[in-house]
Chain A
Amino acid sequence: MDVDPVMLARLQFAFTIIFHIIFPSFTIGLSAYIATLSALRLMTGAERFQRLAAFWTKIFAVSFAMGVVSGVVLSYQLGTNWSRYSLAFGNVLGPLLGYEVLAAFFLEATFLGVLLFGAQRVPPWLHLVAAVAVATGTLISAFWILAANSWMQTPAGHEMRDGIAYPLDWLAIIFNPSFPYRLLHMVTAAYLTTATVVLGVGARYLLADTFVEDARTMVRMAVGLIAVMAPLQLLIGDQHGLNTLAHQPIKIAAMEAHWDGSKPGGLVLFAWPDEKAEMNRFEISIPHGASLVLTHDLNGLFPGLTSVPPADRPPVLPPFLAFRAMVGIGLVMIGGGLGGAVLWWRRKLFTARWYLWLAARGWWLGFVAVIAGWIVTETGRQPWVATHILRTADATSPVPAGSIAASLALFVLVYGIVFSMGIYYINRLIVNGPRGSAIAAPDAGMPSRPLSSVEQTGREFFRAG
């Protein structure tokens, strides 16, 4: 067979990790939102916070389950498909992943049981503790996995002996140069993603004139968060970009499709980078724009793609296009957040139907931005799996292409089923909405199911139809 096993292994990893990141991007923010709602309920005693917390917990349960099972896959894929990577970096990255499991996964998984099924068995304050434990767990998880990813981008605190990395300084390994920026950028992105979904759901209810009180609370809270965090994200992203310029200049060159480093770079609005000809086709750009953004000087110079041999360049098109998608969505979010804040201030937030219409249709923006951002940073890191240490092509397992192709096909099939059904059920939960105290009180031993009320709707729907 003529298929490249490295490309197949990369495709498989890209597919499984893109599928996975969808769920953490949502559950990191959603667990914090649920904890906030539970805390508000305890402080104010307002019934709507209780309803909203119960409603979002049901959606959280479905999303989290998909996140967990797709995450288990990743912890083994490093060995099945990337065994030479595991061998080279086990000493350095292994403990970071180990700490993620011990400090985060057990906390999340164990207290999830209390959060989902314990409402009738524990006092409200302990239920809040469980919500906070789950939210904290997702953040600890983000901390360690982003430390590991950042080390691959900007390795530090280690030495290489015979192709194997040995740790010298754990603090330098964990707090490697790109880590603080990546952590802040990703966690902010996760909160924005969740807020965009919450806003979308609230707007959907307001447009349909159902669950109005709860929907107003959702829209207010989401607009407040987006109005503050979306502009902040622009600032964080800018700093992250400057950090990347300092440590991975060729990634920046690919993101900007900047070929010739001897001239100032234009801010390319659109182009079709041609890697063979080493130039951009159909380019529309603002002259000196990229130089101004990256060096704060109109005539500032930054390295171009041609400053390294073609074998050391990342593919240009994916980081270039994905970067534009991410920034574009970021700007839309800033507009949405600030626009919502203005409407709120003018007391038109719940009546401006055009705004609600757009918000209800824009719920997915955060997910696409997160995926686009990861495509930028991961394809931009190529051809290295860990920058300047190990090439991706040298990191694979001794597994024939046929095995990888067969398993990739299985992943696509299974994940396709799981994802489409998951979306379908979550949508059904949203249609059902926050009704009364949704989690029925079990009289004895049986934990109540988070989805039970959906089934009820299903039955009602069934009878009606």
Chain B
Amino acid sequence: MQMEWYLPVIWAAVIGIAVAMYVILDGFDLGIGILFPFARSERERDQMIGSIAPFWDGNETWLVLGGAGLLVAFPRAYAVLMPAVYLPVIVMLLALVLRGVAFEFRSVARTSKAWWNVAFAAGSALAGLCQGIVLGTLIVGIKVVDGAYAGGPFDWATPFSCLCGLGVVSGYGLLGATWLVVKTDGAVAERARRHATPLLLAVLGFMAVVSVWTPLAVPRIAARWFSLPNILFLWPVPLATALAAYGAWHWLRSGRELLPFVAAIALFGLGYLGLVISSFPYLVPPSLTIWQTAAAPPSQIFMLMGTLVLLPVILGYVVFVYWLFRGKVREGEGYH
């Protein structure tokens, strides 16, 4: 019985980490796409793409791990969630297809290059928007009857989920802008620094709205945060969020390069933590918990053995590649 309790908890942690890795890593490279329309010239766009070219493929693999991990560890949640957010997920995948091939296609295209720039920018923004919509749908809850999705094809289309979509887009924009501050210099880096502050304010605005809206709309979330003794343990979360926000704002002003990016990651991490606190242990709120949706223990153990060996190896070579391509990407380098 013990095993059946802690295995799903371990797996929830593993998938939580995979999703967090995805949101942060693909977040900044989707953010580059979101900021693409603000670039002034093809050279600047090349510089922006150059800052993520060696990494984006690996970053996106965390999304595959999130999907496959859900199927491995919580097949019942995977089987309920995917039909519930069918259209946003399909649109997100197609947006990722277009922006993914744009990396290779835009540098060879001549007359059609502008189209691939559009595909890269629109695909990135649309993918972020859809991910936010999926998130918003999940937070509010999904209609489940007899262990299967029982809602309609457009249940996800609510003002709240669209708000979450815009929040994620601005958040990815913030991650992308602070990444450009780290990885580029010249006009691109300066503009990214200028854009980062309004993006930060937008993110904080969306976080505030979600923080007020969800406890008001969902009693379960209000009870989680504001009942005793929970509130005694949870009050540092909003405080830390405020500190991270202040750090990002301050370090953007004072000309620091790495710290705004770190603060943006911290902000994302804390927002994510807040959502986990709101929903745990529900994987499909408000009805299915991690224990109700878990795969058979032998399946979870078999995969966990591999994960414990392979995940550190993966993290090792991911770090190696980021280290290998360290340093700034300057305007006009490469591409000719």
Which A residues are within 8 Å of any B CB, using their own CB? 61-62, 65-66, 68-73, 75-76, 78-80, 83-84, 86-87, 89-95, 97-103, 105-107, 109-114, 116-118, 121-122, 166-167, 170, 397-400, 402-403, 406-407, 410-411, 414-415, 418, 421-422, 425, 428-429, 440, 442-452, 454-456, 458-459, 462
| B50-80 contacts to A (CB < 8 Å) | 50, 53-55, 57-58, 60-61, 63-65, 67-73, 75-76, 78-80
Cβ-defined contact, B327 with A445, below 8 A: yes
Cβ-defined contact, B310 with A454, below 8 A: no
- Closest B residue to A102 by beta carbon equals B310
Cβ-defined contact, A94 with B75, below 8 A: yes
Say yes or no for B273: interface residue by CB 8 A criterion. no
Cβ-defined contact, A78 with B104, below 8 A: no
Shortest C-beta distance, A282 to chain B (Å), equals 42
The residue that B87 contacts in the complex, of A95, A100, A403, A462, with Cβ under 8 A, is A403
Cβ-defined contact, A403 with B86, below 8 A: yes
Cβ-defined contact, B60 with A72, below 8 A: yes
Cβ-defined contact, A446 with B333, below 8 A: yes
Q: A87-B79, A98-B72, A447-B53 are in contact. Are A68 and B100 (CB under 8 A)?
A: yes
Which residues of B are found within 8 Å of A117, using beta-carbon distances? 53-54, 325
Binds A, one of B161-169, B283-291, B292-300: B292-300
Chain B at the A interface: SS class? helix
A162 to B245, CA, bound (A): 51
The residue that B321 contacts in the complex, of A90, A113, A166, A399, with Cβ under 8 A, is A113
Cβ-defined contact, B67 with A83, below 8 A: no
Say yes or no for B89: interface residue by CB 8 A criterion. yes
Which residues of A are found within 8 Å of B295, using beta-carbon distances? 90-91, 94
Which residues of A are found within 8 Å of B218, using beta-carbon distances? none
What are 24 pairs between A and B in contact, CB < 8 Å? A72-B63, A80-B89, A83-B149, A87-B75, A91-B296, A93-B71, A95-B302, A97-B68, A97-B72, A106-B314, A110-B57, A113-B321, A116-B54, A118-B54, A167-B298, A398-B149, A403-B86, A403-B87, A429-B108, A442-B334, A445-B333, A455-B107, A455-B336, A458-B110
Which residues of A are found within 8 Å of B238, using beta-carbon distances? none
A167 to B103, CA, bound (A): 41
Say yes or no for B81: interface residue by CB 8 A criterion. yes
The residue that B302 contacts in the complex, of A65, A79, A167, with Cβ under 8 A, is A167
Q: A110-B318, A397-B83 are in contact. Are A447 and B325 (CB under 8 A)?
A: yes
Say yes or no for B96: interface residue by CB 8 A criterion. yes
Cβ-defined contact, A70 with B325, below 8 A: no
Cβ-defined contact, B335 with A449, below 8 A: yes
Shortest C-beta distance, A439 to chain B (Å), equals 10
- Closest A residue to B95 by beta carbon equals A414
A445 to B132, CA, bound (A): 34
Cβ-defined contact, B54 with A113, below 8 A: yes
Further pairs besides A70-B97, A90-B78, A458-B110: 8, Cβ < 8 Å: A79-B78, A83-B148, A95-B303, A98-B306, A110-B57, A406-B87, A415-B97, A445-B327
A251 to B314, CA, bound (A): 41
Interface flags for B143-155 (1: CB within 8 Å of A; 0: not) read: 0000011101100
A444 to B333, CA, bound (A): 8
Which residues of A are found within 8 Å of B149, using beta-carbon distances? 83, 397-398
Cβ-defined contact, B69 with A98, below 8 A: yes
Q: A399-B83, A407-B87, A451-B107 are in contact. Are A76 and B67 (CB under 8 A)?
A: yes
Q: A94-B72, A447-B53 are in contact. Are A398 and B64 (CB under 8 A)?
A: no
Cβ-defined contact, B104 with A446, below 8 A: no
Q: Please indicate which of the listed interface residues A92, A110, A455 has the most CB atoms of chain B within 10 Å of its own CB.
A: A110
Shortest C-beta distance, A349 to chain B (Å), equals 32
Shortest C-beta distance, A413 to chain B (Å), equals 9
Say yes or no for B209: interface residue by CB 8 A criterion. no
Say yes or no for B317: interface residue by CB 8 A criterion. yes
Cβ-defined contact, B299 with A167, below 8 A: yes
Which residues of A are found within 8 Å of B101, using beta-carbon distances? 65-66, 69, 418, 421-422
Which residues of B are found within 8 Å of A459, using beta-carbon distances? 110
Cβ-defined contact, A449 with B65, below 8 A: no
The residue that A428 contacts in the complex, of B97, B108, B310, with Cβ under 8 A, is B108
Cβ-defined contact, A170 with B302, below 8 A: yes
Say yes or no for B82: interface residue by CB 8 A criterion. yes
Q: Please indicate which of the listed interface residues B55, B97, B108 has the most CB atoms of chain A within 10 Å of its own CB.
A: B108
- Closest A residue to B328 by beta carbon equals A445
A98 to B55, CA, bound (A): 21
Cβ-defined contact, A106 with B54, below 8 A: no
Cβ-defined contact, B90 with A109, below 8 A: no
Which residues of A are found within 8 Å of B110, using beta-carbon distances? 455, 458-459, 462
Cβ-defined contact, A94 with B107, below 8 A: no
Which 3 pairs, one residue from A and one from B, show the smallest C-beta to C-beta distance?
Answer: A90-B75, A79-B82, A446-B333
Cβ-defined contact, A421 with B105, below 8 A: yes
Say yes or no for B329: interface residue by CB 8 A criterion. yes
The residue that A72 contacts in the complex, of B58, B64, B71, B108, with Cβ under 8 A, is B64
Cβ-defined contact, A425 with B97, below 8 A: no
Say yes or no for B98: interface residue by CB 8 A criterion. yes
A106 to B59, CA, bound (A): 9
- Closest A residue to B311 by beta carbon equals A102
Q: A167-B296, A397-B82 are in contact. Are A407 and B68 (CB under 8 A)?
A: no
Cβ-defined contact, B93 with A79, below 8 A: no
A316 to B331, CA, bound (A): 60
Shortest C-beta distance, B119 to chain A (Å), equals 9
Say yes or no for B330: interface residue by CB 8 A criterion. yes
Say yes or no for B94: interface residue by CB 8 A criterion. yes
Shortest C-beta distance, A444 to chain B (Å), equals 6
Shortest C-beta distance, A274 to chain B (Å), equals 38
Shortest C-beta distance, B182 to chain A (Å), equals 12
The residue that B334 contacts in the complex, of A70, A86, A446, with Cβ under 8 A, is A446
Q: A75-B64, A166-B296, A442-B333 are in contact. Are A102 and B307 (CB under 8 A)?
A: yes
A117 to B325, CA, bound (A): 9
Say yes or no for B324: interface residue by CB 8 A criterion. yes
Cβ-defined contact, A447 with B50, below 8 A: yes
Shortest C-beta distance, B67 to chain A (Å), equals 5
Which residues of A are found within 8 Å of B328, using beta-carbon distances? 445
Cβ-defined contact, B103 with A65, below 8 A: yes
Which residues of B are found within 8 Å of A116, using beta-carbon distances? 53-54
- Closest B residue to A173 by beta carbon equals B302
A375 to B140, CA, bound (A): 42
Cβ-defined contact, A97 with B90, below 8 A: no
Which residues of A are found within 8 Å of B63, using beta-carbon distances? 72
A112 to B306, CA, bound (A): 23
